[in-house]
Amino acid sequence: MEAALILLVATVAALVAGWSRERVLRKSGEERNRRDLEEQRARRDAELREQAQRTSALFDRMVEGLIVVDGGGRIRLANRAAKTLFGFDGPGGGKTILEATRNHEVAAVVARLDRELEVLGHELRIDSMDSPRFLQVNALALRDAAGANDGAIVVFHDLTRLRQLEGVRQEFVANVSHELRTPLSLIKSAAETLIDGAKDDPAALARFLTIIDKHANRLALLIDDLLLLSTLDSGGLRLDRQALPIRSTVQDAMDDLQQRAQARDVKLENAVPASLLMVADNDRIRQVVSNLIDNAIKYGRAGGKTVVGGCVLADGRIEVTVTDDGPGIASDAQARIFERFYRVDKARSREQGGTGLGLAIVKHVVQAHGGEVRIESEPGSGSKFILNFPGLPAPR
């Protein structure tokens, strides 16, 4: 009897021990599973965060502005370019596109997506910044798997630079046409006067032929300058670079212009040291120096002096200067003087046979040599054009 009792207790004890071990094992298994799940979730969250950061960094690097809205028209994502274009800070999340961009046209484009699914090439002008900006807007409706409205993607291409270039081109064409028409109409009216009878008067004949010759020369000069600028613009100018004794290049330019200088009683002085060398295209540098000396003669003081100097600067670069003692150039005009067809005094320039392209050519040719040009001038006390070129390469 006692033995049977002992056996029963032992069996119950064994069963209880077995159950509790099983419970302990089950509990620790659940704990492990929970920990595994939490680790997996944390890993997934970190991956998703990293992916979101990568995506947002990628979007922020886009030149185009990008806004993604949800089905309720509220902003889900806006990249840096979009925020800059519309001047809003922060993620923009939660705001409607109208609240974030403060632009009714953009909101209207997004609203059109209810009917059209995509809007392509909508052009938009925004005036909220310092200067107007021109944008092209492309928008695409998003649909979920069931085809329900899931928001939209709106992309903004900035066309401002393109529009500015178009404006420059149109202005240039208008200027060229005007510049060509002026001498052409003078040639035509002189020819008509001759045909109408002036040819029978020897004095009138000589006078009108001189007019025709003068304006035909002006047309030829203008066309030469335009062709050169077009070659410079297309990067097609081939420079024949060689070691150049600058003094002799300057002297050649001065010799060519001596007669014109004498006609205005302008003294030309070549103060470039004979030892000064640079690596450059002789013909092009001569043209640059010629344009500057020619201007100094044309716009400087009659009876004045023009000096061309040169030196090696402390940083090894080479400086060439053309200085006159004329009326100088006002500071607002100095900022524009290298623009094509810009003239301080239009009538004076035309009367002197100027094309309005001389300084634009100077700037381009100097830049093609890796140099820069600037002007120092005080109205009333002359002008100094300063050319700065790369120095000679170090001997090997």
> Residues in the site for ligand ADP, rule: CB under 6 A?
291, 295-296, 299-300, 324, 326, 329, 337, 343-345, 349, 354-360, 383
Give the whole-angstrom CA distance, residue 26 versus residue 12: 21
Closer Cβ to ligand ADP, 92 or 300, answer by number:
300
CB 225, min distance to ligand ADP, A: 8
- DSSP helix/strand/coil, 107: helix
DSSP for 252-265, written as a single string: HHHHHHHHHHHHTT
Residue 213 CB, nearest approach to ligand ADP (Å): 19
* Nearest distance, CB of residue 324 and ligand ADP, angstroms: 5
**Rounded distance, CA 393 to CA 390, Å?**
8
Closest distance to ligand ADP from the beta carbon of 125 (Å): 33
Is the dihedral angle over the CA atoms 323, 329, 331, 336 positive or is it negative?
negative
Which lies closer to ligand ADP via its Cβ, residue 79 or residue 295? 295
In the complex, the smallest distance separating the C-beta of residue 340 from ligand ADP, rounded to whole angstroms, is 8
Q: How far is the CB of 74 from ligand ADP (least distance, A)?
A: 56
Buried b (16+ CB within 10 A) or exposed e, 310-323: bebeeeebbebbbb
Q: What is the maximum alpha-carbon separation in the chain? A: 164
Task: Report long-range pairs for 343-352 (Cβ below 8 Å, ≥24 apart).
Answer: 344/299, 348/298, 348/299, 349/298, 350/182, 352/298, 352/299
Is 208 or 299 the residue whose CB approaches ligand ADP more closely?
Answer: 299
C-beta of 198 vs 333, nearer to ligand ADP: 333
Instruction: Give the residue with the Cβ less far from ligand ADP, 79 or 355.
Output: 355
Nearer to ligand ADP, 371 or 382 (CB): 382
Distance (Å, whole) CA 63 – CA 75: 19
